[in-house]
A and B are shown apart, each in its own frame.
Chain A
Amino acid sequence: MKWRSLLIGGLLSATFLLAAALSFFWTPHDVETLNIAGRLKPPTLSNWLGTDHFGRDILSMIMVGARTSIAVALVAVGIGMGLGVPLGLAAAAQSGGVLDEVISRGNDLVFAFPSLVIAILITAVFGAGAVNAIIAIGIFNIPVFARLTRGAALSLWTRDFILAARVAGKGRARISLEHILPNVANLLIVQGTIQFSLGILAEAGLSYVGLGAQPPVPSWGRMLADAQTMVALAPHVALMPGLAIVLMVLGLNLLGDGFRDWLDPRLRVVRT
C-alpha cells in the first residue's frame, strides 16, 4: 500500500476540516447554552460524545474547537511561510554574505528558545487570546521555514540549470523566484503540513494553560484543562478532546509523510 499514509492522513485531516467547516452552519447542539442539570452525561444517542461539566454537548464543542485550532495553526503556518521562505531564499542567494549571516544567526537565536516558552512569554506579555497565540506560534515557525528553504536552495544554486540561468543574465532575485522556489515547493508543502500539526499542538498547549482563546470560545486545550479534575468522575470529558487532538495531529503527520513519499522524486526512485 504505497499511498496508505497519504490516504489515512488525508481522511483524518479532512474529517476535522469538514467538521470545522460544518460547525459554521450547524452543530448538534448550541455550544453557548449551558444545561447544568444534564452535565457530565456519558455518550448517548442525543449527545454522541457525552456532555461536559456545564452540560454542553462535547461533540459540538469539539467541532467548534476544531475551528479555533485550525484557524490558529493555519494562520501561524502562513506567517512562518510568508516570512521564513523569502528570508531563506535571500540568505541562499547571498550565501556567505552579511545578509546570510544575519538571517542564519537570527534563526539560531529564535531556535535557541524552546518554542512553547516563547509562546507563553508573548501571550503573557501581550495578553491572552487567539490573536496573540497566532502571532506567538507564527514567530517560531519563521526559522523553521527559513532554514529549510536556505538549505535546499543552497544545493540548487550549484546545479547546472541555475548556472545556465545566470549565464542567460537573470538576476539573483529572479532566479530565486523563477527557479529555486518551484524546486523547493515540494519540501515546503511537506514541512508546512508537519508545522500545521505542531501548530495545533501548540494552540492546545497554550489554551490548556489559559493563554489561548478565551471563554466562551471553545478550544480543545481548555476543554482538557477544565476536564482535569473530573477525570475520576467522568473520564470521557477529558478523553474526547484528548482524542481529538491526537487524531488531528496524527492525521496531519501521516499526511505530511504521504506528501513526502508522493512529491520527493528521490524517494520515488528508491521505492519503485
Chain B
Amino acid sequence: MTELLKVVGLTREYPGVRANDDVSFSIGTGEVHALLGENGAGKSTLVKMIYGLEKPDAGFMKLRGGSYAPQNPQAARAAGVAMVFQHFSLFEALNVAENVALGMENPPKMRELAASIREVSENYGLPLDPDRIVGDLSAGERQRVEIIRCLLQDPKLLIMDEPTSVLTPQEVEILFKTLRKLQSEGTSILYISHKLEEIRALCDGATILRLGKVVGDCDPKVTTARAMAEMMVGQTLHVPSREGGETGEVLLEVKSLNFAPANPFGTKLKNVSLTLRAGEVLGIGGVAGNGQDELLSVLSGEARTGKGAVMFEGQDVSHLGPNARRKIGILAAPEERLGHAAAPNMSLTENAALTATIRKKLSKNNFLNWKKTEDFAREVIKTFDVRTPGPGSAARSLSGGNLQKFVIGREVLQEPKILVVNQPTWGVDASAAADIRQALLDLAARGAGLVVISQDLDELMEISDHFAALNEGTLTAPRPAKGLTVDEIGLMMGGAHDMEVAEL
C-alpha cells in the first residue's frame, strides 16, 4: 500500500491550550483510517489543518510524496482532499442540485449537474433525487447531499467527521457499503468517530489522540473496543448499570397529542401518547429531525398544546409555561447547547440562573441573589466535573462536552420529578458520557421519571426501561427495552425511510 498523506510533527497552539502537540501519522492509498479521541483531544484541529481551515504552528504534511500546505479549503479541494462535516451546511429552502452547485467553484449547468448527481449517487448506492428540496430531507439524506458534493470532486482523500451520529442502523450499513466501494476504487478515507464498534467494522488502521498527542496506533480489526476506549481515555471505563428498581405511580401522561410547530421546517407531532412512571427511564430513539425538538418543547412548556394533552400527576399542565412547569418539577435539557440550553456569551453563573431560579430559590421579590446563584453554579461545576476556570467563564468558552455536563448537571441538581433530555451525551467523551448516564440513572433511582431522547441506540439500550421511537412525528408504542434486537429497533424507527440500497 503506497502512502497518500503523511503528517509529521504537526503542532497547533491556541491561547492557553496546545490543541495538537507533535502529531504524526500516515494514511495509505485506499486505506480507511480512524482518528479516535475524546472531546478536546485535538481531532477537529488536526482535520482542520489537513483541510486548510487552520495552519500548523510547526510540522509539515506530504501528499503523494509532494509537500502539502493548503492555505484554504479551496486549495485542499484542488489537491484532492474533501471533507464531510458533522454539521451540515445546507440551505433548506433550496433543492439538492442547487445546494451542490453552491459548494462548487465552477458549477456546470443545472441540468448537467443534476444528471451527474444522479449518476454518482446511483454508482455509490446513495440514491438521491437532485430536484428535492433539502428542507424535506431526513438527516441521513442530507448527509448524502454532502457526501455527493464531495464525490463530484473525485477526491483522493475523504475526511468524515462523525458521519453515523445521525443515521439509523440500516442507514449506517448503506453508508459503509458506499465507503467500502470508494476504498476499493483507491480513495482513502479519514474516519472520525466515537463509536468503536463501527471503527472495528470499517477501518484498517487507527490513530488514537489524547490531550493533543498521539498515544497509540492500532489495527482496529484485531483490537477490542474496550482496549481502544481505554487507550483513548487513559483509564479504565466505568460502565453504568441499570439497577432495575420497581417503577412507581404514573407521573406524566401524554394523550393523543397533536402539535404543529411555528417553524415551517419543523416536524408536526401526530397523535403522540406516552406514560411515564416514577423511577422509569423512557428512551426515545429515532433519526434526528423526526420530532425530537418538538416533543421536548411540548413537554418543557416552551410550546403550549390543546387542553388535556399533557397531564402531570393527574393535573392538566398543557397550558403552563416553562417556569410554571419547573415549579411543579418538570425540567428539561434541550439538545442545542449554545443558544437554547445556554446563552453563549453569558457566564456560567448567569446560565445557572437561566433555569434554576425557581427550584433553587435564587431570587427574592424578583431580585436575583447572585451570590447564591454562583454557589449553585460552583456546585454544578464540582459535582459534574466541568472543566472550566470558574463560574465566571462564558458558556461559549467551554468545550461542547463540558458545557453539556454543565447543562445536564444544572437540571439534575434541581431534583426534578420529571426530567426530559434530548441528546444528553452528544459530543461528550466516553468517560464523561458514562458519568452523565450514571447521574441520570441515580436520579431515576431517587424516584424521578426520565424521558431520554437520543440518537445513540447503545446509550438508550443501556439506560432505558422502556423504548419507543419517533418517526415523522409519530411515536411508536413503548416496549420494554430488555431483549429488543437491533432489527426490531430499526423497524420501530421506520426502517431506512424508503432509502433502500440501490443495486450495485
- On whether the two chains bind one another, the answer is no
Which A residues form the contact surface with B (CB < 8 A)?
Answer: none
Which B residues form the contact surface with A (CB < 8 A)?
Answer: none
